[in-house]
Structure 1
């Protein structure tokens, strides 16, 4: 068992995303007084035309990462079809520590997309995965937890000191450190979704039996089973087990 890589969550917040609808604005109109010599026909009431307030452009906002959390988890009410051709799909649930403001269903959807990607572990025809929801029979659990809770889970599972920084694979599942899910890594300059793919692919790789390797040569893609957060050693940051030609990206044993 070994400690793996992590990566961050950014949320788009805007009036269109808030329950209850967007902003509104209204102005009042005045009626014209009648002439002294003419019996006026009452002017129709003026219905003021609201002046719309522009919908704010969603801004990229980082989720707060508290050092520790409740230690309790909520399971995503989410499920999906089997991805991959393996004869026995690994059924997994996604859990998020309570009180973080991170949607379990959104996290589960993102993880399902990573595990079903063409360059992911399903490129190996022996592998298959299926996201299942709360209460369903499952083979492993993917937990997203605050650094303190992640440390506790990793120590309890594999006696590994993750130092508030790393993810781990433990008996029965994977522990993702919220700090890495939200903030990524200074060694990885790609989109945050790609870094999350690296987290999931690295730790799921451990679950599938893959061990740590190191850089296969300067300028080459870094293997996902390399601890890229600890340095690239001449390789290029990479989030996927396979390259664009379908070749497995690996290197010498670490």
Structure 2
């Protein structure tokens, strides 16, 4: 410490300049650091083929403020309630969403319940829906899509085999969980998902949020139909169904074919009982 005979005049504080920011680009992420505002982070999903063997992605490190904790991290906005995507195969598509490699590593159970459709028959199957915190999706919208798919006549209930009831607590037969790629890799072990695939094991249908937001090359621009497939396929594992092979070129793929990887010469099909 230096001893000064005369006090130094305090330095004049520099006022932050508004409207200025610094863009940083590194390893597939674009970060905007705004003076006096916050940090906006967007990590773009990998658009590579889901069939390729890729190394496991390193978990993204958490972003914290470097100026005394005054900065904040903002994720991409949730999916809009009204679909705005193109019309593909006669269906209005949901918008594609960029998904971060890592979320917060904790699930939030979607609150509320959803009964089976009026007049449906079959054994009641109770299930829950979870969404990893930090993902750019609304849990209520994801849960509504899962419930619609599972109770479709072409799904596993087949209009009488079983009926699905969503609950937020109590015993359930399985859980459908929207999950970041990094957490998917951990939960699906010993299976190797490479940040690209989903899985169904240990009572949980782990839906890779990257696939949910971007679809798969095998389904092209038809994201809506791909989402039906990935729900039915992973829940199918929890109901005791294993993988199947394409029965022949040009034929409809059974839902338990690994259609995210390839159609193997078959036509895409998201339903266990496509004829209803």
Structure 2 length normalisation: TM-score? 0.63
Q: How does 1:1-254 map onto structure 2 within 5 Å?
A: 11-12=79-80, 61-82=95-116, 84-87=120-123, 89-123=124-158, 125-133=160-168, 135-155=169-189, 159-189=190-220, 191-244=222-275, 246=276
Cα RMSD for the two superposed structures: 2.2
Using the alignment, how far apart are the partners of 1:60 and 1:128 within structure 2?
26
Aligned length: 188
Structure 1 length normalisation: TM-score? 0.68
Residue deviations 1:188-236 (CA, integer Å, cap 9, x gap): 1363221111011101111111111111122111111000122212211
Q: Which runs of 5+ in 1 are unaligned?
A: 15-58, 247-254
Retained in 1: the 8 A contact 2:79–2:138? Answer: no
Using the alignment, how far apart are the partners of 1:184 and 1:115 within structure 2?
19
Q: Which has the larger radius of gyration?
A: 1
TM-superposed CA distance for 1:121, in Å, is 0.9
Instruction: Tell me: CA distance 1:238–1:104, structure 2 relative to 1, closer, same or farther (3 Å).
Output: same
Retained in 2: the 8 A contact 1:13–1:60? Answer: no
Using the alignment, how far apart are the partners of 1:13 and 1:61 within structure 2?
10
Q: Which runs of 5+ in 2 are unaligned?
A: 1-49, 51-77, 83-92
Using the alignment, how far apart are the partners of 2:234 and 2:259 within structure 1?
13
Retained in 1: the 8 A contact 2:107–2:132? Answer: yes
Retained in 1: the 8 A contact 2:131–2:178? Answer: yes
Retained in 2: the 8 A contact 1:13–1:61? Answer: no
TM-superposed CA distance for 1:60, in Å, is 6.5
